[in-house]
Structure 1
């Protein structure tokens, strides 16, 4: 732990917590404009959260502590990832947790806890959404691990900060076959993990098509606010990972005020651009049938395996 890592962790957490609802609002606004609607405005997610935080949370009869602690765990795991992953600075506040396997485990823990909460309600929709989510995560998590592992082979470390620093020192790696294959695989993972089209539709409430929404139907008030907030934070974290692992320019390498300001601005711009690009692409996509989703995710896993193979074949002897 060093001063740069601590400062970066605080800035990153504040950016993700405060900026993620605005990112969701901007993405919704882009979709609305492209679909010919006026839209509710970029600040609407914040207004929704403020309204929900003022309401009382109600737990369905028969639910256990799993249902009640799931929102807190989901927010907590996402916040820890936001603190330790190199978004604004190359140093991490808690370097051992910035490891690839620890970060993926924390992200997977949030998803599993939410699925358990959906099962805990005992409703048909909760169980359906949880089973679908587990089907998706069973294919998504290996792809996430393997695609980032492909980048770590040439670095010799699974520490995310080391991977980002290595790319900064050798910019040509960005256009290498390893990076291109891993980037495409990770992009598909992000779409599936965050419930975006064509895997899931975040704007739907049709029972037969819901995945994420089906698991949280029984939540209300402050608990629902925490889940919606955590979902926005996870989207920001995943887009930040995609941005900084493959295009890390602008990230701060020192604790100088101008460097930190540049790191904050670069992170915000890159995540915003990726989010707006994702929202614009969703306008032209239709949701896949559930039985076609494994085919898409299996294709992304194959790309990640090719990235690993290419990283070994193209590795230069030291």
Structure 2
């Protein structure tokens, strides 16, 4: 579990750097290198933080809370092994609640600044999260029905032992729905543009405009960790091969290696797709997320009927 969290913390900036490098190469640019996000974090850590006047505890606590919640999710989600000391507590509802806590803390920080951009970004973020969190619950719940549990390690272990579940219509619908909400939760195209600074289009950036120095470094690191964990969750649920089911050191090392490969592949595919995607208009985003919610609902329905037919 500790190694899993350390790998997520250390590898999250590298994943972001890899994705930026892929986009740069595909756009005909040289790119800053895979390690550039770590260099940015080191540079920001050396700067003096500047806190806006009349901001309260919400603004000051949000960066650390964002990193802590991402670290807790990294410990709970079975990315490397399904047999960890916290496997019994890795319930789907708990993981989604902790994920929402980090998002809400950042939205409250945006409101706490009292600026128009902060309030605008917080309002947009809460609109997105209201559609994203139920979809995550439903899409993973569709996989939990044949497993008979909402415990994430149990779901992953069941999928690893019965891979035919993932090839079912319920598995396909759940995979598409979860992939869409991962893009929304992490602020990627076509929902949000992580590289934009245009006031009328940004969502995540609008909430963190007032941060600087170490606080901004924590916000960036927390966002990168959330992207890594969610891509890892997507890989664990729908490509669970190689995840250790015991306490063997060799199996855990193999799981760490395969985790890095799977997340890197997903990151490269996402970065390549973003080159050809355009950002949706803000008023079209709820339509996309509502569509993903419908797919997740259909996945639950299909999983229920398929499980019922299989038990007869």
Is 1:213 the counterpart of 2:205? The answer is yes
Q: 1:193 aligns with which of 171, 179, 185?
A: 185
- What TM-score does the superposition give when structure 2 sets the normalisation length? 0.98
Q: 1:107 aligns with which of 99, 106, 109?
A: 99
- The answer to whether the 8 A contact 2:83-2:247 is kept is no
Distance 1:10 1:80 in 2: 11
Distance 1:80 1:227 in 2: 16
Is 1:261 the counterpart of 2:259? The answer is no
For residue 48 of structure 1, what is the aligned residue in structure 2? 40
For residue 289 of structure 1, what is the aligned residue in structure 2? 281
SS at match of 2:198: coil
Is 1:71 the counterpart of 2:57? The answer is no
For residue 275 of structure 1, what is the aligned residue in structure 2? 267
Task: Please list every run of at least 4 consecutive aligned residues from structure 1 whose deviation after the TM superposition is greater than 6 angstroms.
Answer: none
Is 1:124 the counterpart of 2:113? The answer is no
Task: Please state how far the C-alpha of 1:185 moved relative to its aligned partner.
Answer: 0.1
Distance 1:311 1:100 in 2: 17
For residue 6 of structure 1, what is the aligned residue in structure 2? none
- Paired residues for 1:159-170 under 5 Å: 159-170=151-162
- What TM-score does the superposition give when structure 1 sets the normalisation length? 0.96
- Paired residues for 1:176-187 under 5 Å: 176-187=168-179
Task: Please state how far the C-alpha of 1:301 moved relative to its aligned partner.
Answer: 0.2
1:196-252 CA-to-partner distances (Å, cap 9, x unmatched) read 000000011111111000000000000100000000000000000100011100111
Distance 2:88 2:167 in 1: 29
1:260-316 CA-to-partner distances (Å, cap 9, x unmatched) read 111001111000000110000000000000000000000000000000000111002
1:146-200 CA-to-partner distances (Å, cap 9, x unmatched) read 0001100111100000000001111111211111000000000000000000000
For residue 310 of structure 1, what is the aligned residue in structure 2? 302
Contiguous gaps of at least 5 residues in structure 2: none
RMSD over aligned Cα atoms: 0.8
SS at match of 2:131: helix
For residue 242 of structure 1, what is the aligned residue in structure 2? 234
SS at match of 2:29: coil
- The answer to whether the 8 A contact 1:84-1:93 is kept is no
- Paired residues for 1:76-91 under 5 Å: 76-91=68-83
Residues matched between the structures, number: 310
SS at match of 2:149: coil
Distance 2:299 2:104 in 1: 27
SS at match of 2:276: coil
Task: Please state how far the C-alpha of 1:255 moved relative to its aligned partner.
Answer: 2.4
Distance 1:203 1:107 in 2: 23
Distance 1:85 1:143 in 2: 18
- The answer to whether the 8 A contact 1:85-1:92 is kept is no
- The answer to whether the 8 A contact 1:11-1:88 is kept is no
- The answer to whether the 8 A contact 1:185-1:304 is kept is yes
For residue 143 of structure 2, what is the aligned residue in structure 1? 151
Task: Please state how far the C-alpha of 1:17 moved relative to its aligned partner.
Answer: 0.2
Task: Please state how far the C-alpha of 1:90 moved relative to its aligned partner.
Answer: 1.0
- The answer to whether the 8 A contact 2:9-2:225 is kept is yes
Distance 1:94 1:250 in 2: 20
- Paired residues for 1:2-21 under 5 Å: 9-21=1-13
